[in-house]
Amino acid sequence: SEPTIGILGLGAMGSAIATRLRESGYATTVWNRTAAKTEPHVKAGSTAAATVAEAAAQSDILLVVLLDHASVREHLEPVAADLKGKVVVNLTTTTPNEARSTAAWAAEQGLTYLDGAMMAVPEMIGTPASRLLYSGDRDAYDIALPALETLGAADYEGQDAGLASLKDMALLTSMYQMFDGFMQAVAMMRTVGVSAAETAAEVSGWLGAVLPHTEQFAAVIDSGDYSGGQSVDFTRAAVGSLITAAREQGVGADFLEPLMRHLDELSATGRGGADWISVNEQLAIK
Ligand code: NDP
């Protein structure tokens, strides 16, 4: 028979997940710190649990969708005994080391633990645009997979429980730095009265055209051969102009300055002729 799924946390994400699982035919038990949030779910067919222990007792698979690492530990630690024999899947956003720490705690308690990271916003849950990453106990993944696949595409990243979160954070890092660039472009164009909407259209077209270059960059990085390509010194001049242009318009160049510092360091240490993509290696803290 189908497993019963418990959901801890009915915020925007937990609610979307509970709804999706219910609509996919799973029996669901829901718990939320603020109990009133269980009401619409109970009306729609879920069972409300008054405590985390009760939710655990009623579930084969327990999905944890709380705010952060601290709230997860606060609510799981007291009920470790009730989690024996269950599959615990923590979808709460945590850092890789927080995920590893919870996995180590779960192992000490003899629990089956899978860590997850959601590459989706609540509205995307259950749609083809939704993707969730998982790492940790492989058996837990295999057991939970049919239910997890109702939420979005599922990818198993490996035994190390920190891997799903690491990839999540790497992807979000690249996203924020791209959005940083958009913010700065808007600020520059607004100085001459161009609307953010117009700049958004320009930026999305431009970024779409240049984004595939990451694959050529990757080939260089993976080969470790930085002898070709656009040089550090050429790129220093280009980025220097961007910084000057921003300042001329009365706009801060804060997001570009760290890149410039790395390029300056490469140049100052005799690597001005190397491919500027070697800046990637400057990021590893030695
Ligand atoms: P919400 O702010 O909508 O909900 C937070 C949930 O956490 C609520 O159920 C809240 O309970 C509960 N909570 C907060 N602190 C505690 C605590 N100390 N003890 C018990 N429960 C607590 O957040 P989301 O649902 O959007 O996010 C949930 C997780 O999903 C987060 O880790 C988030 O980073 C991640 N995520 C969210 C995405 C999004 O687009 N929203 C995208 C990808 C990941 P109460 O109702 O009582 O306040």
Domain count, the chain: 2
Is 123 found in the same domain as 102?
yes
Neighbour-count burial for 212-225, b at 16+ CB within 10 Å, e otherwise:
eeeeeeeebbeeee
Ligand 1 is surrounded, with C-beta below 6 A, by 9-14, 32-34, 37, 65-68, 71, 74-75, 92-93, 118, 121-122
Q: What is the C-alpha to C-alpha distance for residues 88 and 109, in angstroms, rounded to an integer?
A: 12
| Residues 6+ positions from 96 with CB-CB distance below 8 Å | 162, 163, 165, 166, 169
Is 143 found in the same domain as 17?
yes
Is 256 found in the same domain as 212?
yes
pLDDT at residue 286, as a whole number: 72
Is 173 found in the same domain as 132?
no
Is 201 found in the same domain as 78?
no
What range does the domain containing 207 cover? 167-282
Is 15 found in the same domain as 75?
yes
Output the domain CATH number for residue 228. 1.10.1040.10
Give the pLDDT band of residue 32 (cuts 50, 70, 90).
very high
Is 187 found in the same domain as 260?
yes
Q: How many CB atoms lie within 10 A of CB 48?
A: 17
Angle at 117 between CA 114 and CA 122, to 5 degrees: 125
Is 189 found in the same domain as 65?
no
Polymer length in residues for the chain = 286
End position of a domain, from candidates 107, 131, 159:
159
ipTM: 0.99
End position of a domain, from candidates 141, 159, 177:
159
Give the pLDDT band of residue 1 (cuts 50, 70, 90).
confident
End position of a domain, from candidates 159, 192, 223:
159
Helix (H, G, I), strand (E, B) or coil at 253: coil
Is 177 found in the same domain as 229?
yes
Output the domain CATH number for residue 100. 3.40.50.720
Pocket test for ligand 1, best of 32, 64, 66, 69 (most atoms within 8 A of CB): 66
Q: pLDDT, tens digit, for every residue of 199-253?
A: 999 999 999 999 999 999 999 999 999 999 999 999 999 999 999 999 999 999 9
pLDDT at residue 69, as a whole number: 98
